[in-house]
Amino acid sequence: MLERASKVIPGGVNSPVRAFRSVGGGPLFIKKGEGCRLIDEDGNALIDYIGSWGPLILGHRPKCVIEAIEAVLEIGTSFGAPTEREIHLAEAIRDAVPSMEMVRLVNSGTEAAMSALRVARGFTGRDLCIKFEGCYHGHVDSLLVKAGSGLATLGLSDSAGVPPAFAATTISVPFNDLNAVAAAFENHKGKIASVMVEPVAGNMGCVPPAPGFLEGLRKLCTDNEALLIFDEVMCGFRVSFGGAQGLYGVTPDMTAFGKIIGGGLPIAAYGGKAEVMNYVAPVGPIYQAGTLSGNPLAVSAGLAMLTYLKEHPEVYTTLEKRTAALCSDNLPGVTVNRVGSMFTFFFTTEPVYDYESAKKCDTKRFAAFFHHMLEHGVYLAPSQFEAGFVGLAHEDADIEATREAARQFFAA
């Protein structure tokens, strides 16, 4: 299948990390998902800690989501006109996350981050954005930047095809480094529209915010009249029902959501203060649109997911307990980072608090670990720099089997 796919799809995959390039070997083609397991085309059952890269907090095919989708199939798959259920989803997001006074639905996390950034620029009348090394906000042109050569310098693109002028609108600084953010504001006075951050970083592996980091960003943004944008595409409805902002009690001006809010279908959202969101068309001058935005299937799936999570707050305590158990072994040469049901086994003995410290990992040994786990029926993300996810469908026995497989690797 990989051979055939590679002839018509670059690398045989529709998103690069799926190709297993950083651990070697080829991707497994998946036939179906059931509970916490994936079944591949060869019939192997694997305990899945990727969960479609975050959305599947209830596991594969949860009854509430499947029933919601089935009900919509009876009435239509797309109308290109407003529907009542879009109000319900927007209200459900606002009720869970009060800073989302107004919400616009889009189709992917990339679109949500890109649109939030445009709105921040349109609202402030400024061009520059501060982001953090190792944080990922989708494949937005201006946000695909690598670290600058010095602190608080303008970014260089990390991808071919991005005009240098786009990358130069982004200032990339180390995660958890408030001094670097303050210096960037100082060096570019009155020019910074926004600070965009994953409040719990997940795209360099799981890296929690240091105590005071998010509070410090809030203050710097307020002092400099820039908008604080939380990219909660991964951590929203994951680290708590109210997202990272609920967990840490820091209120951003705007937020991007995705992944869990679609219940496994393609949907995302951005929003925030009404004062800011009223700049979005058709009310205001900032253009943003989508043919399939608010798609009835995706909205229903997302609404079913959020409704379930709201009605079952114990999900989060169960996930906390199970993920804590999964991460409780003392594995030699490994530093474990975890926030709720997001975790990463970093193959380094030193603490991991930003991208530089994450890069110290022994990625070869991680690759060997990855393949050992796969052979023992455990499907981890095929890269050291990804978060793993535990979902409600992972039973205690699945967690125990995973720990046993990991212990065998370190005993060998």
Ligand X SMILES: *Cc1c(COP(=O)(O)O)cnc(C)c1O
Q: What residues numbered 308-327 form the site for ligand X, per CB under 6 A?
A: none
Q: Which of 342, 263, 265 is nearest to 307 (CA)?
A: 263
Rounded CA Rg of the chain: 21
Instruction: Name the one residue in this structure whose structure tokens are 């130069």.
Output: 168
Strands 156-157 and 145-146: antiparallel
Instruction: Name the one residue in this structure whose structure tokens are 């009249």.
Output: 225
Query: Which of 20, 49, 132, 136 lies at the binding interface for ligand X (CB under 6 A)?
Result: 136
Residue least distant from ligand X (Cβ):
109
Query: Which of 133, 177, 198, 398 lies at the binding interface for ligand X (CB under 6 A)?
Result: 198
Task: Tell me the three state secondary structure of residue 236.
Answer: strand
Task: Taking the CA atoms of 343, 348, 354 and 355 in sequence, report the sign of the dihedral they define.
Answer: negative
259 among known catalytic residues? yes
Binding to ligand X by CB under 6 A, coded x per residue (else -) over 207-236, reads: ------------------------x-xx--
Size of the chain in residues: 412
Residue 122 found at the interface with ligand X (CB under 6 A)? no
Q: Pick the piece of the chain touching ligand X (CB under 6 A) from 27-35, 102-110, 269-277, 325-333.
A: 102-110
Contact (Cβ atoms closer than 8 angstroms) between residue 102 and residue 283: no
Query: Which of 134, 252, 258, 382 lies at the binding interface for ligand X (CB under 6 A)?
Result: 258
Query: Which of 12, 33, 51, 138 lies at the binding interface for ligand X (CB under 6 A)?
Result: 138
Shortest Å distance, C-beta 45 to ligand X? 26
Binding to ligand X by CB under 6 A, coded x per residue (else -) over 34-73, reads: ----------------------------------------
Shortest Å distance, C-beta 201 to ligand X? 8
359 among known catalytic residues? no
What are the structure tokens assigned to 213, written together? 């980091």
Rounded CA separation 327/104 (Å): 37
Residue 350 neighbours by CB under 8 Å, 6+ apart? 335, 357, 360
Rounded CA separation 324/71 (Å): 37
Q: Of the listed 48, 231, 253, 354, which one is catalytic? A: 231
Shortest Å distance, C-beta 255 to ligand X? 11
Query: Which of 47, 56, 57, 110 lies at the binding interface for ligand X (CB under 6 A)?
Result: 110
231 among known catalytic residues? yes
| Start-to-end C-alpha separation, the chain | 33
Catalytic residues: 136, 231, 259
Where along the sequence are the contacts to ligand X (CB under 6 A)?
A: 108-110, 113, 136-138, 198, 202-203, 231, 233-234, 258, 268
